[in-house]
Structures are given as C-alpha cells and as structure tokens.
Amino acid sequence: MYIPVEGFMYPNEVELQWSVLIVLYPFITGLVAGAFILASLERVFRVEAVKPTYRLALLTALAFLLVAPLPLQLHLGHPERSFEMYLTPHRSSAMAMFGFVYLWYLMAVLLLEIWLDYRRDIVVKSQTSTGIMRFIYRVLTLGSNVISERSLRIDERLGYFITLIGIPSAFLLHGYVGFIFGSVKANPWWSSPLMPIVFIFSAMVSGIAAVMLLYMITTRLRGKEIDIRCLDKIAQYLMYTFVIDFSLEMLDLLQRIYEADESFRSLDFMVHTRLWTSQVIVQILLGTVTPIALLGLTQILKLTEKTRKRVYALAGCLTVMGIFAMRWNVVIGGQLFSKSFLGYTTYKMGFATREGLLTAIALMILPFGILWLLVKLLPPWPDASSISASGEFEQAEPVRSLV
C-alpha cells in the first residue's frame, strides 16, 4: 500500500500502527463513563429531574462497556493472549492493567448496580414470564425470590454505596485511557498531564449527550411524551460539563502555544494542514463551539418546548461527533508527524479489513444491538417497572428516602 509522505519520516513512522479501532476504544469507553456519571447524578446527587434516564443510562453504559475491549481484541495479532494479563498480571505495564480496571468496572460496579436496581423486576418477571425468558430471569435471580421491603431497602442502600464507588471508578476507567496517551513521553502530541483530565471531561460530555439522544429517540419510538424537565436538566449539565471540558482543552492549547517547545512548529503546521478539517472545523467549530452556543441559547432565550427539543437533538449530535473527532485527532494526529519534527505521513484506512472502516462501523452498531437486547430483557422505562402481574408488586418505585 502506497502511503504519501511529506518531508522526512523514520521508516517505522510511515505506516500508522494505531488505526481507527484505537480511535473507537477511547470513544466507546468515554460513552460508558459519561453514561454512568449521568446515572449517578440521580442516584448520588439527587437530581430528581434526570430520573427517567437513570436506568437507560446504566444499560447504555453496560452495552458500550461490553463492546469496549473488542476494538483492542481486533487490533491484537493474538487476541487470545489478552487473557494472560489476568493469569500473569504485569504490574508495571499500564496497558496490561487495563484488564483489571475493566473487570473492576464491569463486575464490581456496573453489573452489580444494574442487578441490585433491577432485582425486584427480575424476581417479578421470573414468576410472570414463560418459556426461555422465564429461565433467563430465574437464572438472574440466583434462585432467591426475596423482595421484602427490608431486602429492597438493603439493595437500595448497597446500590447507593456501589454508585458512590462507581463515580471514582468511572473516572479511573476513562482517566486511565487518557493516562495511556498522556504518559507516552516520546510523543509531544500526547504527552501531557492534562490528558487524563481532558479525557474524563470529554467522556462525561459524550456520555451525557449520547444518553440524552437515546432518551429522545427511544421515547419517540415508544410513542411517549418526552419529559422536557428531564431533558432541560440533562442539557444544562451537558453544557456545564462541556464548558469545563472546552476550557481545559483550551488551557492545554494555550500552554503549548506559550511554551512553544521544539515540537511546536511541527505540530502547529500539522494542525494547519493535515488536521485542519478534523480538528479545527469538525472538533472545535462544529463539535464544540456550536453545541455550547446552542445549549447556551436555550438557557438565555425563552424557546418553545418543540424548538428546545430540536436544539438539544442538534447539539447532542454535534457533541457526539465533536468528541469522536477529538479521539480521532488525538490517536491519529499523534501518529501523523515524525518524531524528527521534519515530516508527515498519511493515514490510509482500510475498507473491509480487520481494522478497516467496515469493522469500525460494525463495532459502532454492535452496542446498539446489545442495548436493544438489554432493553428487551430489562426495560428501563419508568412506566415499565410498575409490573402489575400480582397485587403485591404494584409499588414500583424503590424506596430512596432511607438512604
């Protein structure tokens, strides 16, 4: 494959080693962390307005978390060897430690929180459903049908505690991804102590925007009315987080411009040429400034509900696109310039290859398929939890006041 090179590149820099799949990896984990943090707003910070999205956010986080390691597995020449990081843990390797960060977040936080939150529904469904679904629900109950008031209160208290642990865990999950890039000291495009922090905030932004869009789409598909109070609140939090995220990114940029170290001219040239469209146009103008401005307008102007919904939808789409562009610019941008600062290479994405465009598209569709299954199995809608199969299960809302 011919790769156009400009100026001087070392031989091992001409072909990019980290492909679009490595762009997907931080993008997907970001959605996970962001969705979870949105869920924790209701659980820990008592933001009652966002309650309709609580369970949807948890299921979204799980669907994307299950897909998060797949880009890495496809990227590896020997995916079966990845299990060895559990068998023979290498404590000095940041990449090898990902397995534990991932496992902790999946098993100790997300699955546990979802199980505790849905346990009552699972028990009810294990008694009311039939066939294979009955079997699945019965397995999920672990053979215990106890849903006494006290047991639900214990679940609630434990769930609260897990969410409390889950917030730093979500920060750890995505902070870790930023750490991986930020700690590559040989690469001036990545090497920055701000990287983990910027990654965490951008994760929150993308996750909140994604759940907001999913909430709007799923509510529309179900033919229900969107809770505008909930949407307003999410959009408000999205804007706050986005402003912090953008400020941090600009702070990083200012620092680089003022510091102007030996890499600056090379990186500056790259931003003005190869990354101009993806960084300046897509990431900054369309994906950051425009959604912040749109969300800001909804705070300042008195817009109708219909207009607000449209603005939120547009801002949400632009935000997700902008954060994807940010991941692209970090991962791909960091490999386009020579460490000699004298040349630039080009990223040639394959089409129907192991790390090509089709694979990337399939990997982005997959979480939605998993989410669809999860939603079928564990309906997250506020109106769906009031299962009226038998009288004793009528009281749907868990007891939150005791926590």
Partner 1 sequence: MFKDIEHLIRLATVMAIAVVAFLVLRAGVVPRSFGQYGHYRGAAMGEIAARPIAFAGHDLCETCHSDVADQKRQGKHVVVACEACHGALAKHADDPASLTPAKLDTTVLCARCHEANSAKPKWFPQVVTADHSGGIACDTCHQPHRPKIETKPETESKAEGKK
Instruction: Give the separation between CA 31 and CA 205, rounded to whole angstroms.
Output: 8
Q: Of 142-150, 186-194, 226-234, 366-374, which segment contacts partner 1 by CB under 8 A?
A: 142-150
Among residues 199, 205, 343, 196, which one has the least CA distance to residue 270? 343
- Closer of 84 and 394 to partner 1 (Cβ): 84
Question: Which residue of 17, 130, 144, 304 would you call a contact of partner 1, by CB under 8 A?
Answer: 144
Instruction: Give the separation between CA 318 and CA 315, rounded to whole angstroms.
Output: 5
- In the region spanning residues 49 to 88, those forming contacts with partner 1, defined by CB under 8 A, are 86-88
Question: Does residue number 9 form part of the binding site for partner 1 (CB under 8 A)?
Answer: yes
Give least dist CB 146 to partner 1, A. Answer: 5
Question: Does residue number 17 form part of the binding site for partner 1 (CB under 8 A)?
Answer: no
Q: Taking CA 395 as the corner, what is the angle to CA 393 and CA 396, rounded to the nearest 5 degrees? A: 90
Q: Of 58-66, 67-75, 127-135, 141-149, which segment contacts partner 1 by CB under 8 A?
A: 141-149
Long-range CB contacts for residues 116-119, cutoff 8 Å, separation at least 24? 116/155, 116/156, 116/158, 116/159, 116/162, 117/55, 117/58, 117/155, 117/159, 117/398, 118/55, 118/378, 119/147, 119/152, 119/155
Give least dist CB 171 to partner 1, A. Answer: 24
- Closer of 85 and 230 to partner 1 (Cβ): 85
Q: Phi and psi for 92 in degrees, rounded to 5? A: -95, 0
- Closer of 9 and 70 to partner 1 (Cβ): 9
Instruction: Give the separation between CA 218 and CA 195, rounded to whole angstroms.
Output: 34
Give least dist CB 340 to partner 1, A. Answer: 9
Question: Which residue of 141, 206, 279, 283 would you call a contact of partner 1, by CB under 8 A?
Answer: 141
Beta carbons within 8 Å of 265's beta carbon, 6+ residues apart:
341
Helix (H) or strand (E) run with residue 157 in it: helix 149-182
Q: Taking CA 33 as the corner, what is the angle to CA 356 and CA 56, rounded to the nearest 5 degrees? A: 95
Exposed/middle/buried for residue 208 (C-beta within 10 Å: 0-12, 13-18, 19+) = buried
Give least dist CB 142 to partner 1, A. Answer: 4
- Closer of 111 and 313 to partner 1 (Cβ): 111
Question: Does residue number 158 form part of the binding site for partner 1 (CB under 8 A)?
Answer: yes
Q: Of 42-50, 149-157, 328-336, 380-388, which segment contacts partner 1 by CB under 8 A?
A: 149-157
Question: Which residue of 78, 150, 302, 376 would you call a contact of partner 1, by CB under 8 A?
Answer: 150
Q: Taking CA 152 as the corner, what is the angle to CA 149 and CA 155, rounded to the nearest 5 degrees? A: 155
Give least dist CB 135 to partner 1, A. Answer: 17
Question: Does residue number 191 form part of the binding site for partner 1 (CB under 8 A)?
Answer: no
Q: What tokens does 150 get?
A: 């006290």
Q: Of 3-11, 164-172, 193-201, 287-295, which segment contacts partner 1 by CB under 8 A?
A: 3-11
- Closer of 142 and 399 to partner 1 (Cβ): 142
Give least dist CB 382 to partner 1, A. Answer: 24
- Closer of 8 and 45 to partner 1 (Cβ): 8
* Contact letters for partner 1, residues 91-130 (x by CB under 8 A): ------------------------x---x-----------
- Closer of 82 and 290 to partner 1 (Cβ): 82
Exposed/middle/buried for residue 96 (C-beta within 10 Å: 0-12, 13-18, 19+) = middle
Question: Which residue of 4, 77, 131, 143 would you call a contact of partner 1, by CB under 8 A?
Answer: 143
Question: Which residue of 82, 129, 151, 183 would you call a contact of partner 1, by CB under 8 A?
Answer: 151
Question: Does residue number 403 form part of the binding site for partner 1 (CB under 8 A)?
Answer: no
Give least dist CB 9 to partner 1, A. Answer: 7
DSSP 289-345: IHHHHHHHHHHHS---HHHHHHHHHHHHHHHHHHHHHHHHHHHTHHHHB-TTSSEE-
- Asked if 183 and 8 touch (Cβ cutoff 8 Å), the reply is no
Handedness of CA 284, 285, 289, 291 (dihedral sign): negative
- Asked if 119 and 155 touch (Cβ cutoff 8 Å), the reply is yes
Residues that bind partner 1 (CB under 8 A): 8-11, 86-88, 90, 115, 119, 141-144, 146, 148, 150-151, 154-155, 158
